[in-house]
Amino acid sequence: MRNKNFNIGVVTFKNPVFLASGPAGYGIEYRDLINLEKLGAVVTKTISLMPKEGNSGTRLQETESGLLNSIGLENVGARRFFDEKLPELLDAGAKPVVSLACEGKEEYLELLDITSKQDNVDVVELNLSCPNVEEGGMGVGTDPALLRWYIKEAKHILGGMAVLAKLTPNVGDISSLAVISEKAGADGITAINTLLGMDINLETGTPVFDRVVAGFSGPAIMPIALRAVWEIAKVVRIPVIGVGGISSIEDAGKFLAAGAAAVQVGTAIFYDPGLPERIVDSL
């Protein structure tokens, strides 16, 4: 593997190992378990304009080879995040990448406007692929016209901030969406978000989750994510960040060999919080 700075747009990162959006919460939840300053970046949980309570019912369900989640983008909302959570993350020495919800157009534009005024944010990741919400998320990321609009607006309003487009694997051809994202102005591609999955309670004969389907992450999706990165890296010139099922140093190395400029570690930190730092050391 390699140990060097790399850029996304005009933003430089000290190494290519990030925490993925979601499992690490706002990042500060892991400051006693992971040396956040040692990592290339911490991608925050996805932030919406207004606070969200998330989905009702069961939210997490383990499987033999991964994790199903139906969190529903629960978060404190943009103003409280930027006033309270982000300063704590910066105090912990982390490089923040703020994940933004691609919700309804009016809310999205206001969210971008608030974000544009944050002097301590220079990179955002657009969550164009969440499967656990009614509006935005995967509904945006599977529609080429919407995908183009959401990225273009982000680039226009956020000025010089670097913009990552996080894509869904729940499509027939993810590489074509990556090309659209690049042409719309994205500075990098994050691949992939969770796959669609579900579980059934045999005692009741009903789905475990209120929304029936949930996002599936963990080791089982690693080959799918690796294939997506391989395909995307061949058709775009912007950096590709590989995420999905990384559970070892070797997994991270495979993503870098497939053409990823960086990797994000997600579900694995639930049971192996030392993994991101070991990947950095292995570089």
What Rg, from alpha-carbon coordinates, does the chain have? 17
Check: CB of residue 246 under 8 Å from CB of residue 265.
yes
Question: Buried b / exposed e across 109-132, counting CB within 10 Å, b at 16+?
Answer: ebbbebbbebeebbbbbbbbbbbb
170/173 Cα distance (integer angstroms): 9
Helix 174-184 × helix 222-233 angle, to 10°? 50
Tokens 């990225």 sit at which residue? 151
Sheet strands (E) in the chain: 6-8, 11-13, 17-19, 41-43, 60-62, 67-69, 96-101, 123-127, 162-166, 188-191, 195-197, 200-201, 206-207, 214-217, 240-243, 262-265
Of the residues 71, 76, 111, 130, only one is catalytic, namely 130
- Is 130 an annotated catalytic residue? yes
Give the catalytic positions in this structure: 130
